[in-house]
């Protein structure tokens, strides 16, 4: 006997017989429904419990809207926090990988045995886990902030989000703030020097320095690129917060600017 969980209940298949058990809570069964490709027509079967096609569709639509309302709120409430805690996990795993790798080197200088092999295996597993988490961050980030993620990739997008605290706050930041996000320490140091009448350089970039478009440019062009990228990030974050739709020309403009600067 095979069981299929469909939105209006459960369908049991015995040999070629199909039996339908109607759910008493469509919202619940809709959320729980999950199945492989159905070997029968969902619509035809539904007419065993719905009096007409019209009633089927109106119940389906009502349920889908109800479920969507619940899930949208849930998703919007939790995704900022989810991404930020994934990012923290990523950083901690990196620390672990570095620490273990160092220990392995220390041990191997003395002797290679079972213990060092075990260490190696664990580091290998941590690296796999790291990859998984990074993928997860990218996919969650492109859901929550498609434009920012398109511009700088999932991990940098997540770091900006972490620094800002939430997408709402990132969306209210000026480009110049985003540009030095993560370099606050050197900014305040420079500002206090300037206040005392001394010479100082303000930082050109913080988190966004990790982006290849900035890192790979000659030093004197980095400030220009960082400023441009940050201004587009500010726009992107606002679009992400207020509409959530991908604006394709943003990433395009950044790419062009990079090519122009690189020459």
The binding site for another protein (CB under 8 A) comprises 4-7, 30, 33-38, 41-43, 57, 60-61, 64-65, 67-69, 71-72, 75-76, 79, 142-144, 146, 240-241, 243-246, 248, 251-252
3-state helix/strand/coil string of 189-228: HHHHHHHCCCCCCCCCCCHHHHCHHHHCCCHHHHHHHHHH
Q: Give me the least distance between CB of 63 and another protein, in Å please.
A: 9
Looking at the Cβ atoms of 35 and 174, the one nearer to another protein is: 35
Q: How is residue 20 annotated by DSSP?
A: E
Q: Give me the least distance between CB of 49 and another protein, in Å please.
A: 14
37: left (phi over 0), alpha (psi -120 to 50) or beta: beta
Q: Give me the least distance between CB of 208 and another protein, in Å please.
A: 18
User: How far is 159 from 149, CA to CA, in rounded Å?
Assistant: 11
Looking at the Cβ atoms of 98 and 243, the one nearer to another protein is: 243
Looking at the Cβ atoms of 64 and 261, the one nearer to another protein is: 64
Q: Give me the least distance between CB of 18 and another protein, in Å please.
A: 14
Residue-wise over 83-105: b if at least 16 C-beta within 10 A, else e?
bbebbeebeebeeebeeeeeebe
Looking at the Cβ atoms of 52 and 111, the one nearer to another protein is: 52
Q: Give me the least distance between CB of 3 and another protein, in Å please.
A: 11
Looking at the Cβ atoms of 69 and 125, the one nearer to another protein is: 69
Q: What is the DSSP string of 131-163?
A: HHHHHHHHHHHHHH-HHHHHHH-HHHHHHHHHH
Q: Give me the least distance between CB of 178 and another protein, in Å please.
A: 19
Looking at the Cβ atoms of 17 and 54, the one nearer to another protein is: 54
1: which residues sit within 8 A by CB, 6+ positions away? Answer: 12, 13, 14
């Amino acid at each position: 006997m095979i069981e299929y969980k469909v939105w209006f209940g459960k369908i049991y298949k015995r040999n070629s017989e199909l039996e339908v058990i109607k759910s008493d809570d469509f919202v619940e069964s809709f959320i729980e429904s999950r199945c492989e490709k159905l070997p029968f027509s969902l619509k035809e079967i539904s007419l065993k419990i719905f009096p007409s096609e019209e009633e089927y569709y109106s119940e389906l639509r009502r349920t889908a809207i109800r479920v969507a309302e619940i899930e949208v709120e849930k998703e919007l409430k939790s995704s900022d926090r989810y991404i930020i805690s994934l990012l923290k996990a990523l950083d901690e795993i990196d620390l672990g990988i570095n620490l273990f790798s160092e220990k392995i080197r220390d041990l191997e200088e003395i002797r290679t045995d079972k213990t060092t092999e075990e260490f190696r295996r664990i580091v290998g597993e941590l690296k796999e886990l790291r990859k998984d988490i990074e993928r997860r961050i990218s996919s969650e980030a492109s859901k929550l902030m498609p434009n920012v993620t398109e511009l700088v990739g999932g991990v940098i997008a997540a770091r900006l989000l972490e620094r800002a605290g939430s997408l709402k706050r990132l969306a209210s930041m000026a480009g110049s703030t985003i540009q030095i996000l993560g370099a606050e320490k050197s900014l305040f140091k420079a500002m206090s020097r300037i206040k005392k009448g001394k010479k100082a350089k303000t930082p050109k970039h913080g988190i966004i320095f990790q982006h290849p478009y900035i890192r790979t440019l000659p030093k004197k062009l980095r400030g220009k690129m960082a400023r441009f990228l940050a201004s587009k990030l500010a726009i992107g974050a606002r679009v992400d917060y207020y509409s959530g739709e991908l604006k394709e020309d943003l990433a395009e403009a950044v790419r062009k600017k990079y090519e122009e600067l690189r020459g």
